Amino acid sequence: MGGMLDIFNNTNFRWLLDLLDILLVAFIIYRIILLIKGTRAVQMLVGLAVILIVYVGSQVGGLYTLHWLLENFLSSIILVIIVIFQSDIRRALIHVGRNPFFADLSYKEETEVIEELIKACVNMANKRIGALIVIERETGLNDFLEVGVEIDAKVSSDLITSIFLPFSPIHDGALVIQQGRLKRAGCFLPISQNPDISKTLGTRHRAAIGLTELVDAVAIVVSEETGKISVVVGGRITRDLDSTSLKRVLSRLLEPRLNKKKKR
C-alpha cells in the first residue's frame, strides 16, 4: 500500500492525487451546500461571513480593539459552529451514504410508490380535490415539518386522497414524503415572492414554487379549481399533466436508482 502511494507521490501521477483531492473537497462542499440550502443554517453562515469580513477589515484598517475582540471570538469558532449547527451536522451524518428518496425500498416498492402517487393525483384531479404533495430528495425538509401532523405511513393512493378530502382535519397545507413514506401532513411551506408567477396561480401553487426555490424537493399540485395536475421543481412549474406525462416526469425526477436497476 505504502509502495503504491510512493509511486503516486514520486512520479508523474502526482497530478492524479491532486485532482482527486480537489474533486473530493468540491464534492464535500457541494453536499454541505445541498444539505443546508433552505435551512436556518444559511442565515447563520451569512452572519459568520459578515463577522469574518469585519475581522479582516479591522485588521486592514488598524482597529485594534475590534480586531482583538473578533480574534478571540473566531479562535473558538469551531466550537461555535458545532453548537449552532448541531442538528444540521447530525442530519448530514445520517444522510451520508443514504439513498435520498427511496431509502431501503426494493425495486418493486419503489415502483409502487410512484404508481400510488400517480393514482392518487389522477383520482383527486377527477374529483376536483385540491392537494399539495412534497417529495424530499437530497436536501432535508425537516425545517418545514415543525407545523403539521405526523403520519409515517406507507404511500397509498386511498390514504393520500382521504388526507386531502375537504372535510379531513389535515387537508390544509402540504403532505410530505420522506424516504418513500408519507411522513407529515398539514405542513406550511414558504410562499414564493417571484413577481413573474402567473396571476392565475393561488397560494397552493405559490407554496409549491416557494419551497422548490429553496430546496431540491419535487412538489405535485392538484388544483381544486381546475382539476389540473402540476409538478414543480427548482421553482419551475410544469402544468396540465395527465397520468402518462406525470409518470414520465416523476420517473425522471425520482427514479435515478430505479433506472440503474432496470439497466442491470
Ligand X SMILES: Nc1ncnc2c1ncn2[C@@H]1O[C@H](COP(=O)(O)OP(=O)(O)OP(=O)(O)O)[C@@H](O)[C@H]1O
The residues that touch ligand X, with contacts defined as CB under 6 A, are: 130, 132, 172-174, 188-189, 191, 201-205, 207, 223-226
State the minimum distance, in angstroms, from the CB of residue 142 to ligand X.
Answer: 16
Q: Phi, psi at residue 94, to the nearest 5°?
A: -65, -35
Nearer to ligand X, 44 or 191 (CB): 191
Nearer to ligand X, 67 or 206 (CB): 206
Nearer to ligand X, 58 or 192 (CB): 192
Q: Phi, psi at residue 179, to the nearest 5°?
A: 45, 45
State the minimum distance, in angstroms, from the CB of residue 128 to ligand X.
Answer: 9
Q: How far apart, in whole angstroms, are the C-alpha atoms of residue 47 and residue 26? A: 23
Nearer to ligand X, 38 or 173 (CB): 173
State the minimum distance, in angstroms, from the CB of residue 191 to ligand X.
Answer: 5
- 128: cell is 376536483
State the minimum distance, in angstroms, from the CB of residue 205 to ligand X.
Answer: 4
The residue nearest ligand X at its CB is: 202
CA torsion, ordered 219, 220, 221, 222, to nearest 10 deg: -170
State the minimum distance, in angstroms, from the CB of residue 189 to ligand X.
Answer: 4
Nearer to ligand X, 118 or 208 (CB): 208
State the minimum distance, in angstroms, from the CB of residue 169 to ligand X.
Answer: 12
Nearer to ligand X, 100 or 210 (CB): 210
State the minimum distance, in angstroms, from the CB of residue 202 to ligand X.
Answer: 2
Sheet containing 174-178: give its strands across. Answer: 149-154, 181-187, 174-178, 131-135, 218-222, 229-233, 236-241
Nearer to ligand X, 172 or 216 (CB): 172
Q: Which residues pair with 153 in a beta bridge?
A: 182
